[in-house]
Amino acid sequence: MTPSIVLVLAIGVLFTAGVYLLLERSLTRVLLGFILMGNGANLLFLVAGGRAGGAPIVGTTPDDEMSDPLVQAMVLTAIVITLGLTAFVLAMAYRSWQLHGHDEVQDDLEDRRVARHAARNAPAFEDLDTEESGQTLDDEAAEVHDETDADRDGITDARLGRARPTDDDEGRAR
């Protein structure tokens, strides 16, 4: 049996569109990508299973006319997996909408720092423990720069809605 070219093209389109949507930042588009790829996998299993036949029950259908039961089990398994992934990504998108008002995945600041160090071919950390600086741990911790805390008050500015450093009591910018 040779598969229909229309079904093969449909599988290709479903997988291509699914992968494209999986690479987006919006969780809604990622969800649609999972659904399209799940449907593409189901169609692929059906095409790979061969021709339609009788019920795969011994005694009711001759052996050479039975359909392959493995394909049916694989399709049912793929449906359950797609349903589980859909529920999980939908829950993540809903929670992101509740917390941030959008469902886009943002870059992680630590990932940016690691990428900058990798681009410079520099180590990702500095071992300050090998040399004694004479400072206490509190003094060393106060010198550490946090990209999310521009005014260095210990509170992440994104939670307060501030994006720039503020002026302190003497009117100097930090």
Q: What are phi and psi of 142, to 5 degrees?
A: -70, -25
DSSP assignment letter at 65: G
Q: What is residue 174's predicted lDDT score, i.e. its pLDDT? A: 46
Q: What percent of the chain has pLDDT over 70?
A: 69
Closest CA to 109 of 62, 140, 69, 149: 149
Spatial separation of the C-alpha atoms in residues 165 and 174, rounded to whole Å:
6
pLDDT-based confidence at residue 8 (cuts at 50, 70, 90) = very high
Confidence check: pLDDT of 169 > 50: no
pLDDT tens digits, one per residue of 91-105: 999 998 888 888 888
- Which comes out higher in pLDDT, residue 140 or 45? 45
Spatial separation of the C-alpha atoms in residues 105 and 9, rounded to whole Å:
31
Q: What is residue 86's predicted lDDT score, i.e. its pLDDT? A: 94
Confidence check: pLDDT of 6 > 60: yes
Stretch 140-144: mean pLDDT, rounded? Answer: 64
